[in-house]
A = this chain, B = another copy of it.
């Protein structure tokens, strides 16, 4: 256990050595301003809400209406948007379609984001089969991987399943942007290492482990057990 920790520290140190202190804010900044992470999450919510409003035929919307729909303060909506420019019209609000386009451009979902799912267990399958739904939001699952040879070769919901040993090649060939890790507990770090080596710098991790990755790689953790456990605190 201690050995493992030392090992992880080594990895981090090694990375520091190769990349320098990395004071560059990569993409954490926009026009020189630093963007708080919560803002990015809300931006996604705005985009989705705007899609609904647009579908409902509204052509403009105020920060108050948008905030109310999401349970947020109107000032927060305005401030979040102000990080990226001035999109609104005083006295009128925001043009729904224009704002939606701007937000999608900021998030990078104006082009298709290419996703790979590693681990075709129940969770992996759930992700794959919801992909049609996600497609509307601008991303696409282009490949799945599993260690079980019996699953390899086929496809699920139009997504081909490869063996994990092909992960690195396919990441490059298929220009994968994001890797979703849904493998059994214990195998997460290995998959992450492979993905990072192949140039992936965004990982969605469903494995209940902390992943050690270079600083430029962003990891989103989704930990269902933790969500349930923390809910139970609020039961009488």
Size category, A interface: 35 or more
Instruction: With A125-B122, A220-B227 as known contacts, state yes or no: A107 contacts B232, CB within 8 Å.
Output: yes
Question: A228 contacts which of B115, B185, B226 (Cβ < 8 Å)?
Answer: B115
Question: A126 contacts which of B108, B123, B178, B202 (Cβ < 8 Å)?
Answer: B123
Residues of B within 8 A of A108 (CB): 232-233, 235
Residues of B within 8 A of A41 (CB): 226, 230
**Cβ of A80 to closest chain B Cβ, rounded Å:** 13
Q: Is A23 an interface residue (CB 8 A)?
A: no
Chain A window 39-74, contacts with chain B (Cβ cutoff 8 Å), 1 for yes, 0 for no: 011011101100011001110000001001111000
Contact status B58-A107, CB under 8 Å: no
Question: A231 contacts which of B178, B185, B210 (Cβ < 8 Å)?
Answer: B178
Complex CA–CA separation, A153 to B1 (angstroms)? 45
Residues of B within 8 A of A234 (CB): 26-28, 201-202, 218
